[in-house]
Amino acid sequence: MSTTVPRDRAQPLTELRAPPATGVARWSLAQFVLFSATLAILGAAIGWPGILREPASTVLRTIHGQALATSLGYWLYLLASVAFIGLALSLGRLLRPSSSDSAAIDLLTVLGVAAGVLKTLGIVRWLSVMPGLAASYNATDTPAAMQPMIELVYTSMNAYAGAVGELLGVQLFSGLWMVGIGSLLLRQGWKASGLLGIGSGLLLLVVSLRIFVDDLGALNAVAGPMGLAWYLVLAIAAWRHRVPSTAGRP
């Protein structure tokens, strides 16, 4: 005589079917590789992300002198933001069957996707507007009187797009999403992934307070590598759990 398991019963992550865990592993690994390359290329070329806190004149001269590397680095960063969206969706699929609160999973998924979209909106300015401003600022035929106007345009654009991309996307929304996902992973027994996710998210939330305390922006230098560590640990954990458990099955 066989018994039927109720459909609404939450399943532990070790009993989930393979595709969601495999998707999480792939998207998390893609995020790790793409963001590592972003940090390496932009860090070596223009001192990113610290350069973002420098005056407009310094940034415009620096990115103009490293135009190719800057473009390549930000294209990789754009792809990393797309991978972030894929990761958020995959984690939602992975966690939904194991959680009794599907509304919380849906909310976190929306938050993660929104963070990725906001990141892309912030990044696009470095592939469109900023190179043109840098070229005009450093052109030999640009009158000296025009440079302060270009600096003003840069500052205004950076203040708006930076708030959308960095403050909301990279820090606030991503931080809240990481804390929520990390808590759910920890509850499911994924200790390393859960704790590192919570820690990374909390650090991003602290960095978002830079609008009140400017010096907190320096913590970005720690938040980036810590986030990379989480992506890698999560990829390994998801890959190990990609094979569904057969315990208790005929």
What integer pLDDT is reported at residue 3 of this predicted model?
47
Closest of 122, 99, 77, 112 to residue 197, by C-alpha: 112
What integer pLDDT is reported at residue 51 of this predicted model?
92
pLDDT per residue as tens digits for the range 190-241 = 999 999 999 999 999 999 998 899 888 889 889 989 999 999 999 999 998 8
Give the number of residues written for the chain: 250
Distance, in Å, from the CA atom of 210 to the CA atom of 218, rounded to the nearest integer, reads: 9
What integer pLDDT is reported at residue 97 of this predicted model?
79
pLDDT per residue as tens digits for the range 111-137 = 999 999 999 999 999 999 999 999 999
Handedness of CA 40, 71, 211, 107 (dihedral sign): negative
Cβ partners under 8 Å of residue 237, min gap 6: 190, 192, 193
- The fraction of the chain above a pLDDT of 70, given in percent, is 88
Helix (H, G, I), strand (E, B) or coil at 70: helix
Cβ partners under 8 Å of residue 68, min gap 6: none
Locate all alpha helices (DSSP H) within the chain, ordered by sequence.
18-46, 56-65, 67-95, 102-124, 129-138, 147-162, 174-187, 191-207, 220-240
Residue type, 3: T
pLDDT per residue as tens digits for the range 159-202 = 999 889 999 999 999 999 999 999 999 998 899 999 999 999 99
pTM comes to 0.86
